[in-house]
Amino acid sequence: MALQFTTSYIEDSLAVFRYYKKLAERAMEQVTDEQLFEVLDCEANSIAIIVKHMAGNMRSRWTDFLTTDGEKPNRNRDSEFADPSATRAALLAEWEDGWSRLFGAIEPLTDADLGRKVTIRGEAHSVMQAINRQLAHYPHHVGQIVLLAKHFACEHWQSLSVPRNKSAEFNRKVAAREASQR
């Protein structure tokens, strides 16, 4: 993630959300359609289930974010862990819908909104606390997606960050890029 210096919590939060969205997408691109639905064991979730859960959470949390409880009465969280969309395209449409709601809710905010009160499951949160809650939740699941994708892609895996045993090479490239920008 190319860090942009900012003192705006909103700008930084949006950048972090975008980073993790892209990380999951880059991981999912590396697996077959079938692998999106594979599970490691009877207690594990597939990538598709994790995506469905994240999308359901986003739909609930970010729809009418400032004016309604973040746990919508029509959300059935338990159903998010069964019967995911049957195709990659349908799954990614749910994914995009969830992220669209998140960005649509946060982008209009300013740092002056951070102290406003919102509720999640009837519990009061500041806007900042509500954003932090999801900044902890979504990267957790993105990590699961990356782990599963890496497992399934195996020797075909393309690193999403610094490739194994390539730290020195990576650091040289970063230093060269920084020198050229001076």
Q: Which domains does the chain have, with CATH numbers?
A: 9-181 (1.20.120.450)
Pick 177 or 102 by higher pLDDT.
Answer: 102
Question: In the prediction, which pLDDT does 166 show?
Answer: 73
Cβ–Cβ contacts within 10 Å for residue 130, how many?
24
Question: In the prediction, which pLDDT does 14 show?
Answer: 97
Write the pLDDT tens digit of every residue in 18-36.
999 999 999 999 999 999 9
pLDDT tier, 182 (very low <50, low <70, confident <90, very high otherwise): confident
In angstroms, the CA 34 to CA 32 distance is 5
In angstroms, the CA 127 to CA 117 distance is 6
Question: In the prediction, which pLDDT does 1 show?
Answer: 57
Question: In the prediction, which pLDDT does 3 show?
Answer: 64
Question: In the prediction, which pLDDT does 2 show?
Answer: 58
Q: Is the pLDDT of residue 149 over 60?
A: yes
Pick 161 or 176 by higher pLDDT.
Answer: 161
Nearest residue to 54 (alpha-carbon basis) of 104, 20, 6: 20
Report, in angstroms and rounded to the nearest whole number, the Rg of the chain calculated over CA atoms.
Answer: 18
Question: In the prediction, which pLDDT does 171 show?
Answer: 74
Average pLDDT over residues 52-62: 98
What b/e readout covers 65-103, taking b as 16+ CB neighbours within 10 angstroms? beeeebeeeebeeeebeeebbeebeebbebbeebbebbb
Average pLDDT over residues 112-133: 97
In angstroms, the CA 44 to CA 38 distance is 9
pTM for the model stands at 0.89
pLDDT tier, 179 (very low <50, low <70, confident <90, very high otherwise): confident
